[in-house]
Structure 1
């Protein structure tokens, strides 16, 4: 058996989806899986995006990226709200995410996310914050 790094392709995606689904079925757990991307656009220009996955009973925000000229203009709040509104009442109990110290811990706190854990780092900017919000 050989272990190697590969680029994502259709064959890999099919394997992941099949095995992820089959394992959930074997464990008698509802998979409830979907990936998402929401974009904020301003006259056709992307101002920001939010990506993630929903599975089992949890939504996980992966990335929230706001263009420099749109930061502090409410774009991030609106993108997070879009995720919350989309998945509320659809069988998901919570939204989970992580952020680094230099990114947005206070932003998520302001949006009602509760801090679960901080993984400390020698560089405070690289401490990792784990947040959760029940929906």
Structure 2
């Protein structure tokens, strides 16, 4: 997944895209979703969408962390 351009942020598009991906996943019987993001991207967005952190990679330089999220569908 690529980063969302600033002109499209805070307009609800990300929430719509995640909800649709989750809906499409549920149709064939998926029971959870997972994704990852970095400190400089959008970890708070995924928390607001009820994803929970299940792992963190903190071995990047400059205090960058990679967060791994999951959500039961």
TM-score range, shorter chain: 0.7 to 0.9
Structure 1: which 5+ runs fail to align?
1-62
Structure 2: which 5+ runs fail to align?
none
Across the aligned residues of Structure 1 and Structure 2, the Cα RMSD in angstroms comes to 1.4
- Structure of larger gyration radius: 1
53, 62, 71: which one aligns with 1:123: 62
Runs of 4+ in 1 over 6 A off after TM superposition: none
Question: Are 1:96 and 1:132, in contact at CA under 8 Å, matched by a contact in 2?
Answer: yes
Aligned residues: 72
The answer to which structure, 1 or 2, has the higher relative contact order (CA under 8 A, 6+ apart) is 2
| Deviations 1:57-115, CA, capped at 9 Å, x for gaps | xxxxxx14322211111111111111011111422111010100110111100100010
Structure 2 CA distance, aligned partners of 1:69 and 1:95?
A: 27
